[in-house]
Structure 1
Amino acid sequence: MFNISKHLRLPSLYRSDPAKQDAHFDENEYVSGLRKLMHGFDLMLNDDVSGTKETFNSDTVESCIGKAGNAFYHAILGLEPTAIEEAWNCLNTAEQRAEARRKFMEIHDLRVGSYPGGYEYQLCVCDLSLMQSILGFVAGSLFDNVKSAYHLRKTFLSFTKMMEHVREVQQKKETGEIQVTNSNAQFIDEFIESGISTGYGVLTFLISLLSPSVMRVLSFFSMHGERKDAVQLLWKATTYSNMQGAIALLCLYAFNALVQSSASIVPLDYADELRRCQDGIDNVRQRYSNGAIWAVMQGKLHYLRGDPEKALELEKTRVDTSMEQIIAMKGFDTAMLFVGIRKFKEAAQAILDLEDLNSWSHSFYRFFAGCCMLQHSRELKNNGGNIEESENYLAKAIEYLKQSPTLVQKKKRRVLPVEMYLVRKVQKWEDRAAKLKVNLADAMDIPPYIELIYIFVTWCLNDPEHLLILRSELERCQCTEDDGVALQEFLLAVVERHLKNYESSRARLIRVMNMNKDYLSQANRDFWILPSAHYEMAALEWDMHALEAEREVKQQLKKAQEYHNYDLEGRLSMLTQAALQTVQSEKP
């Protein structure tokens, strides 16, 4: 992704049309510049903010690209609107300058190593374009029109062609037809080969996760993404002991620890993939010993692999970094971990601490904290705890839950799906509280933290003890409206599936599917459980029969994809698409 590298100290390159520029070329100086740029990215991954800034402080093309890669890194970690906008502008400027340099190198056939002149810069242009696509994807604005799809198409076609060339060259190296002994050429070849493997792997992987509606647009441009091939490419790229290998590992971590950890349908070798990720991160930490992001990733993986004590130990350890994005990322993971081990008081504080670090969504932080405070209050009351503390937390929970919709920043950026969800939920509770003349907490049929677990902390459902607590709590809920009954049935079905009570889970899901669609689509009801019920039925079939139930699994997933215009649609769309790719990847 960030493999944008080169350092040509050729002043004439900046002044005139590429075709008319002086082709004076110093190979050693050129390669030295590339090494310096790669070193700058190494500093970035090692949290050396001042060192990175110093490396990229000139007005050269390579510094421009370095600044763009660094801006992207900060934006993707924090997901703050202002950082995303700044990174987008940097990437656009860098892409234009890299393209001009590519043309010059290609025209004069200035080459080092086994690849044509300008190949390094073609790679850089593609990487910069890919980074813009990723930012657009996470910001929700990438595919607003066909023009955006065409932009991604150019990147895809370029990467595809370059990947084919790399495979040809590597095959000739294996047969001895091409031999590279010069150190400069070896460095450039590795730069190109590792960069293209990583970039093409990331791009095809990203495409494999896109929703069917987006894929229909991309199909007009002959674009496709096979996750199995993408994952293999990325694992191969991790063998390079450079920044490219580290970025490939980051992508694999994002898939396995962020996407798949929220999924109900995972690969049959998921445990092995988590182990490979952890082994890879342990190895990378030897190169980037000061990089806090690697420590944060280690903590999350320990929990996913069944060691919450070790995970909590790592999450509680202070990270020595000046990057607030990583501190915020660690804080978010810590909050989720506390929910997973049922420490709701600590979870509330951990998520509230993010308000001073990150502007991603203060409305969500307040909503999440309110749900956790409410559960802490209830557990104190039910277990004979401090009554005064229970009442204080109850009052604070209600205050935060009511505040959360008012903090949605509609004018500054697009409203996030999770914000649409919380606005609807709070409005639903307030309407019901007014109708029943009770406080907000008493208007809730289902403890709201259980929904948060399903949406954000799915991985804690692998803990049998936690599951039994959830089942007991859900069974005690006195739901008086069909909407609440449907949500109760759905959440119990999820719990029963994880407890391997498959027939009970199936019966509950069928009852949810038979709910009146028009009824659930009215007012502020939980319509999202209808498509989610089909997704969970697919997961049930997968758990029971794996590939033997391929037809049934795909059928249920496609039914889930037929529902539209509900909050959390983006989340379920990604998970259903990932599930379809999982089924496809398991086939021999």
Structure 2
Amino acid sequence: MSRLGSWFRGSTLKSSNDSSPSVSQVDLRAQSIALLQDAIAGADLIMNDDIDGAEEILKKGSSTYHSFASAVCVFMRSILGFEKAIMAEASSRLNECEASAWDEIKKAEKGSGSSSQAERIYPPGTEYQLVLAESYLMSAIIGVLHESLTEGIKSFYKMRKAYVALDAIMQAESASLKKRGLQPTPSKQAPKNAETHHHERMPGAFDDDADLEFLDADESHPGGQTPLQYEGHLANGNAEEAEKKLSDLTLNGGDNVEMAEPAQNSPPKSGLPESDIFADPIDAFVHSGASMCFGVLLLIISLVPPAFSRLLSIIGFRGDRERGIEMLWQSSQFENVNGAVAGLMLLAYYNGLLGFADILPLRGRRREGGLWRFEEARSRGNRKNLTGALEILKNNKSKMKQVDALNSFEMSLDLSYVRDWARARDEYIKCIELNDWSPSLYNYLAGCAELELYRNACLANPRDESRIRIHKKKTEDIFRKVPAAAGKKRFMARPLPFEEFVVRKLKKWEERSATLGLDLVDVIGVSPMQEMVYLWNGLKKMQPAELERAAGDLSWDRLTCSDEVRSKIRAEIDERALHDLCHAAILRNLEKFDEARAKLQEVLKLDKSAFKGPTKDDYIPPSAHYEMAVLAWVEGQTKTPSETKKTVDDCESWLDKVARWESYVLDGRIGMRVQTGMDTLRWYKREHSLSTP
């Protein structure tokens, strides 16, 4: 460490490839390691929500590593808050980082002949190739979020370059380790075509609200028995053991996570822990960073809706969910910022899609970090413990307003699920103050919560006109803000799907208000809040009693209009279908499958043309087909093998219809759920010999 410490005696850290002839290759190597470790020490604070502290440390260095870590700081601010000015700053810093990385790559290539590669796993300059690839990837993400279609197209080009660069690093690592007779990372040897796996683990998805319905397979059926939660680097055992392995992950010390046996056709491992193989700090940085980045990339590509997935495959992007998750597990073993980010991504994956697996959050990494507590709250919510989730969220304060915004929105949703309308309304309005991503959506949700308070007041005491008038005015005032705030944010030059959705809803109510000659709030039909609960998949987090109360909110008796007007609203085809869809989803979660199917059949028999129009809820028919697929799946798990095959085929047929549906509002959101289901069925049929391998 004395050699490493000597590099910090100057006031400014120099580039890692000083060309002075008096500096030996050993010294250059030590200098590069020192610069890397200093930059990582600064970047490490990001995981503690202390981006200001990270930037304060990083601005003291001028190396490519410091430039990269500084860019990461601004990038994290930008993607957490979606603020346009910060996105522009992030793009600028990333461009500077790319230029610096290119310079270092050229220097490394020129000096490669004078240094020995005998003990190096990667070719000279690979660490800067990784920096370049990660910079490309971050630039691509920002570009996709940009309002310009041109920037979005450029982003796919950069994403392609990142994809190719990361894959090249993986191949170089694999070749190097093979020469040494080592094979610690079976995922990097996994075939690109998942169909060739003899025994494939359960696929997943990376999406906060993706459905869990297709993950409840009953493992009592014949065939290869595969755990429903990914166990890539966890020893086989019970849930408590798995939780302990996850909770033992630390950033400041502790044992590495034990690796489970790979797929049956994978090469044997070296028997050495990865920390021994990648003992060199730069090798550890490259391995953990490449595994983290490529894992995220493969995972994200695998979750996109079917139509977009086909387009990506044409231009060379192929997702691999199993390989992506395994790479994240590999990266999470390392006690650096790459491992921390990988752990955070795994939490988002498990909490978003595999919440039923009872996986504990990685609090050992950053006990005081708001992002970690946020994930712990989501984990509790996914275990149907909304009270516990809210307890964490209400006390979760961060140094970053972007994290506070995420926390506030999650708390708003959970408060809606437990029907605490007043607090939910206030938290949605607070989101507007913390984040400018979609004020129209926040206002719409706040209005939905206030509407429930208005309806409660009318039902509780019709004579309390003062209280009723207050809630009515608040509801209308909030809803009136929705259209004015919409359209300011765009995604790939298109309106945000949910903004388009809520604006259509307001137009629908305004037209109905004008036709019936009544105030807007008195012509609203099916509870718009329970509709949003369905769209955000909040039903998965509810206990039976909470589901029953949610069903009560769908009652037509809650409408604040006369019986005559109520009958007219109920007569509207898409309004009645919306009621049946939401009610069916609640009944399904209550395991009242026959009743749920009967409700859905009422929707399926309707003509699709009745849902076409500028203010019609066109997402209802495809969603009803999706719900039928879910029913086939969950019911099939309790049947005999022959009966199960039929229900799986039925499920696949329903999903295929949704995947081929014409364009509609929220098709991307429903499409991600469909993609998850289709991937699950492919896995299930292979595991249970229901189709040809």
Letter in 2 for 1:521: K
Q: 1:399 aligns with which of 470, 474, 477?
A: 477
Amino acid at match of 1:219: S
1:485/1:178 CA distance change after superposition, 3 Å:
closer
Partner of 2:204: none
d(CA) in 2 for partners of 1:418, 1:179: 46
1:203 and 2:203 aligned: no
Per the alignment, residue 271 of structure 1 pairs with 356
Structure 1 residue aligned with 2:83: 80
Secondary structure (helix, strand or coil) at the match of 2:661 reads: coil
Verify the 8 A CA contact 2:513 2:519 in the aligned structure 1.
yes
Q: Please state whether the residue corresponding to 2:663 is helix, strand or coil.
A: coil
Q: Which amino acid aligns with 2:375?
A: M
* Counterpart code for 2:317: M
Preserved CA contact (<8 Å) 2:625 2:655: yes
Question: Does the alignment pair 1:69 with 2:72?
Answer: yes
TM-score w.r.t. length of structure 1: 0.87
2:579 corresponds to 1:488:
yes
Answering whether residue 363 of structure 2 is matched by residue 282 of structure 1, we say yes
CA contact (8 A) 1:561 1:573 kept: yes
Are the counterparts in 2 of residues 146 and 217 from structure 1 also a CA contact under 8 Å?
no
Counterpart for residue 121 of structure 1: 128
Who is 1:383 aligned against? Answer: 460
Cα distance change, pair 289–461 in 1 and its aligned pair in 2 (3 A): closer
Matched, 1:429 2:509: yes
1:55-454 mapped onto 2 (5 Å cutoff) = 55-57=57-59, 58-109=61-112, 113-138=120-145, 148-170=155-177, 172-173=181-182, 186-258=280-352, 260=353, 270-272=355-357, 275-276=358-359, 278-279=360-361, 281-284=362-365, 288-319=366-397, 321-384=398-461, 388-410=466-488, 414=493, 415-454=495-534
Q: Deviations over 1:156-180 (max 9, x none)?
A: 2222232233345556346879999
Report SS of the residue matched to 1:26.
Answer: helix
Superposition CA RMSD, Å: 3.2
CA offsets 1:177-199 (integer angstroms, 9 cap, x no match): 99999999622221111111111
Whether the 8 Å CA contact 1:227–1:585 is kept in 2: the answer is: no
Name the aligned partner's letter for residue 344 of structure 2.
Answer: L
Match of 1:540 among 601, 612, 631: 631
Shift of 1:460: 4.9
Q: Select the structure with the greater relative contact order (CA < 8 A; seq sep ≥ 6).
A: 2
Q: Residues 173, 460 of structure 1: CA spacing in aligned structure 2 closer, same or farther, 3 A cutoff?
A: closer
Whole-Å separation in 2 of the counterparts to 1:150 and 1:49: 29
State how far apart, in whole Å, the 2-side matches of 1:347 and 1:219 are: 41
CA deviations 1:45-69 (Å, max 9, x no partner) are: 1122332112221443222211211
Aligned length: 562
Unmatched tracts of structure 2, length 5 or more: 1-6, 184-268, 558-565, 638-643, 688-693
Matched, 1:51 2:60: no
Structure 1 residue 459, shift from structure 2 partner? 4.4
Q: Distance in 2 between matches of 1:392 and 1:242?
A: 54
- Amino acid across the alignment from 2:374: V
8 Å contact from structure 1 (residues 427, 524) kept in 2: yes
With 205-214 and 26-35 compared, the bigger mean Cα shift is at 205-214
Instruction: Write out per-residue CA displacement over residues 452-498 of structure 1, whole angstroms, 9 at most, x where no aligned residue.
Output: 10122524554211221232333435512112111111112211211
Cα distance in structure 2, aligned partners of 1:181 and 1:338: 43
Give the equivalent residue in structure 1 for 2:538.
458
The alpha-carbon distance between structure 1 residues 242 and 439, as it changes in their structure 2 partners (threshold 3 A), is same
User: 225-234 vs 557-566, which deviates more?
Assistant: 557-566
Q: How big is the shift at 1:72? A: 1.3
C-alpha distance 43-432 of structure 1, shift in aligned 2 (>3 A)? same
Mean Cα deviation higher: 412-421 or 143-152: 143-152
Residue of structure 2 equivalent to 1:474: 554
* Counterparts in 2 of 1:317 and 1:9: CA distance versus 1, 3 Å: closer
Whole-angstrom CA distance in 2 between matches of 1:217 and 1:143: 18
Matched-pair contact (CA < 8 Å) for 1:560–1:576: yes
Which one has a larger percent helix, Structure 1 or Structure 2?
1
SS of the equivalent of 1:398 reads helix
Alpha-carbon distance in 1 for matches of 2:319, 2:275: 36
Report the Cα offset of residue 117 of structure 1. 0.5
C-alpha distance in 2, partners of 1:573/1:140? 22
Q: Which secondary structure state, in structure 2, belongs to the residue aligned with residue 283 of structure 1?
A: coil
Q: CA separation in 2, counterparts of 1:212 and 1:228?
A: 18
8 Å CA contact retained: 2:71, 2:90: yes
Equivalent-residue separation in structure 1 for 2:82 and 2:329 (angstroms): 26
Question: For 1:438 and 1:27, how far apart are their aligned partners in 2?
Answer: 76
User: Residue 554 of structure 2: SS of its match in structure 1?
Assistant: helix
Instruction: Point out where structure 1 has 5 or more consecutive residues left out of the alignment.
Output: 1-5, 261-266
The DSSP-based 3-state class of the residue aligned with 2:364 is helix
Q: 2:546, 2:506 → 1: CA distance?
A: 26
What letter is aligned with 2:437? Answer: W
- Which amino acid counterpart does residue 636 of structure 2 have in structure 1? H
Match of 1:505 among 593, 596, 601: 596
- State the TM-score, normalizing by the size of structure 2: 0.74
On the 8 A contact 1:149/1:218 being kept in 2, the answer is: no
The residue type paired with residue 436 of structure 1 is L
| Conserved 8 A contact 2:75-2:87 | yes
Aligned to 2:667: 569
Counterpart contact for 1:339–1:457, Cα < 8 Å: no
Aligned equivalents of 2:555, 2:82: Cα separation in 1: 38
Secondary structure of 2:525's match? coil
Residue-by-residue CA offset, 1:321-364 (whole Å, 9 max, x unaligned)? 33110111111111111101110110000111122221111111
Relative to structure 1, the CA distance from residue 146 to residue 363 in structure 2 (aligned partners, 3 Å threshold; closer, same or farther) is closer
Structure 1 565/183 Cα, relative in aligned 2: closer, same or farther at 3 Å?
Answer: closer
Q: Which residue of 1 aligns with 2:244?
A: none
8 Å CA contact 1:98, 1:121 repeated in 2: yes
- Aligned-partner Cα distance in 1 for 2:537–2:147: 23
Offset from partner CA, 1:185-231 (integer Å, 9 cap, x none): 62222111111111111010011012333323322333311212212
The 8 Å contact of residues 9 and 29 in structure 1, kept in 2 or not, is answered as no
Please say if residues 173 and 179 of structure 1, whose CA atoms lie closer than 8 Å, have aligned partners that are also in contact. Answer: no
CA contact (8 A) 1:114 1:185 kept: no
Query: How many angstroms does 1:580 deviate by?
Result: 2.1
Q: Following the alignment from structure 2 to structure 1, what is the Cα–Cα distance between the partners of residues 349 and 467?
A: 40
Cα distance change of structure 1 residues 362 and 63 upon mapping to structure 2, 3 Å threshold: same
8 Å CA contact 2:163, 2:297 repeated in 1: yes
Instruction: Select between 194-203 and 241-250 the one with higher mean Cα deviation.
Output: 241-250
Residue 553 of structure 1 is aligned with which of 619, 641, 651? 651
